[in-house]
Amino acid sequence: MRGGATFLGGALGGTAVTLSGTAALGAPEHTPEHTPGRAPAADQAGRATVAFRGPRQPGVDTTPQGFATFLALDLAGGTDREALVRLMRIWTDDAERLMSGRPGLTDTEPELAAVPARLTVTVGYGSAVFTAAALAHRAPSWLRPLPSFGVDRLEENWSGGDLLLQVCADDPVTVSHAVRVLVRQARTFARPRWLQRGFRHSPGTVPPGTTWRNPMGQVDGTGNIDPTAEPHLVWHEDDGSGWLAGGTSVVVRRIAMDLDGWDEVDRTGRENTIGRRLSDGAPLTGSDEHDEPDLEATGPNGFGVIDAAAHVRRSRTDDPGQRFLRRPYGYDDGPGDSGLVFVTYQADVDRQFLPVQRRLDELDLLNEWTTPIGSAVFAVPPGAGPDEYLGQALLEG
């Protein structure tokens, strides 16, 4: 992935970052160093905004912000297509307001909305949305729980859900406030089912372009795809039903990490598990983080330099279609309760995500220290154009 959640790293793809307020300096992604002699605003990271309106929803190809909340909701009984339209109109309006640093329409703490900090709100649909709207025939074929894997120890309270709210920003106050506004607005339509909070780095704490390290200390995300160069891997193209063009899918899996067990493994064992160096993330066959791993290279003893079961080998394939965009966050809910909120986006879960997950389930040294305890899949409808609401192409199609 393109670095930790630093402001100066800017945004990728369709979601432009701008600075709100009168002292805006222009689009910072093009000026990684400010104009000499002109001081950047001390609250620059707070004033940055991501555009809400557009053919695609924000928060997918947006450079990961420092903080994320993933909230699954279950629909209340009686929520039909008309009610869903009302909810989507409300969320569309509030997401647009909040992402620009303005209070929600009925915001009871409007002052807490003043720091947008690259806030993004992204909405996903579980299969129950299609059933409730009497549109089950228009649900994507891949929209169902993932098959169970041998490594899974799924817990009900981290799995499933009818709706997803993904709320990300570079300030945790902003995330907290936005989640509260959106949940309150939804209360007659849906109730929270589970909530997962993740973090990367605060803005301005690591150099732009630094690849994130996960709670096991590994450089995580080096081999990620570039959604600008290969948009077809992320964004749905017209599949005949039409409404999902510009949309995607999101898989949210909670991966518990056995950090105490990992402590028992020395650095050689850790590097062998992944196939990359701990110091800089370079493959064991290379010298730079971004060197391509040489899966054929053998050492003096004739064995592969990268272990046959190393994570970097098992997660790779010769099929360029079996790739997807990863956007994970770390979680730490106290001693013994840490891991990843592992989040991926792909045009087609079955074609892209499943084959890789099957391969890792079969064999991956990393499995000894990681356990999936939650799993959910959602369809991410396209973005809202001018005067549109989220999901309009589906709900009025």
Write out the catalytic residue numbers: 220
- In the set 94, 96, 170, 364, which binds a second copy (CB under 8 A)? 170
- Coil/strand/helix, residue 228: coil
Query: Is residue 340 left, alpha or beta, with left meaning phi > 0 and alpha meaning psi from -120 to 50?
Result: beta
In the complex with a second copy, which residue's Cβ is closer, 135 or 178? Answer: 178
- Coil/strand/helix, residue 177: helix
Query: Is residue 204 left, alpha or beta, with left meaning phi > 0 and alpha meaning psi from -120 to 50?
Result: left
What is the enclosing helix (H) or strand (E) of 123?
strand 120-125
Q: Which residues pair with 332 in a beta bridge?
A: 338
Choices 91-99, 330-338, 339-347, 378-386; region in contact with a second copy by CB under 8 A: 330-338
How many Cβ atoms from other residues are within 10 Å of residue 21's Cβ?
A: 15
195 binds a second copy (CB under 8 A): yes
Q: How far is CA 300 from the centre of its chain?
A: 41
343 binds a second copy (CB under 8 A): no
- In the set 55, 147, 217, 385, which binds a second copy (CB under 8 A)? 217
- In the set 131, 157, 188, 205, which binds a second copy (CB under 8 A)? 205
Q: How far is CA 184 from the centre of its chain?
A: 23
> CA angle, corner 215, sides to 6 and 160, nearest 5?
95
21 binds a second copy (CB under 8 A): no
CB of 364 to a second copy, least distance (A): 20
- In the set 61, 96, 152, 171, which binds a second copy (CB under 8 A)? 171
**Cβ contact 370:256 at 8 Å:** yes
Choices 49-57, 129-137, 201-209, 358-366; region in contact with a second copy by CB under 8 A: 201-209
45 binds a second copy (CB under 8 A): yes
CB of 143 to a second copy, least distance (A): 25
36 binds a second copy (CB under 8 A): yes
Q: Which amino acid would we find at residue 208?
A: P
> CA angle, corner 130, sides to 124 and 132, nearest 5?
110
262 binds a second copy (CB under 8 A): yes
In the complex with a second copy, which residue's Cβ is closer, 8 or 356? Answer: 8
296 binds a second copy (CB under 8 A): no
- In the set 7, 52, 142, 369, which binds a second copy (CB under 8 A)? 7
In the complex with a second copy, which residue's Cβ is closer, 127 or 166? Answer: 166
CB of 380 to a second copy, least distance (A): 22
- In the set 176, 224, 241, 371, which binds a second copy (CB under 8 A)? 176
Query: Is residue 79 left, alpha or beta, with left meaning phi > 0 and alpha meaning psi from -120 to 50?
Result: beta
360 binds a second copy (CB under 8 A): no
In the numeric block, the tokens 């109109």 are attached to 89
CA neighbor of 185 nearest in space, from 282, 104, 298, 273: 104
**Cβ contact 359:204 at 8 Å:** no
**Cβ contact 5:11 at 8 Å:** no
Choices 41-49, 286-294, 308-316, 376-384; region in contact with a second copy by CB under 8 A: 41-49
CA neighbor of 214 nearest in space, from 327, 132, 133, 123: 327
| Total residues at interface with a second copy (CB under 8 A) | 62
Q: Which tokens is 274 given?
A: 């992944």
Q: Which tokens is 97 given?
A: 């307001």
259 binds a second copy (CB under 8 A): yes
Q: Which tokens is 77 given?
A: 């009984």
CB of 160 to a second copy, least distance (A): 17
77 binds a second copy (CB under 8 A): no
CB of 34 to a second copy, least distance (A): 6
Q: What part of residues 100-119 is at the interface with a second copy (CB under 8 A)?
A: 108-112, 115, 117
Q: Which residues bind a second copy (CB under 8 A)?
A: 6-8, 32-34, 36-46, 66-67, 108-112, 115, 117, 170-174, 176, 179-180, 183-184, 192, 195, 199-208, 213, 215-217, 259, 262-263, 278-279, 330, 332, 334-335, 338
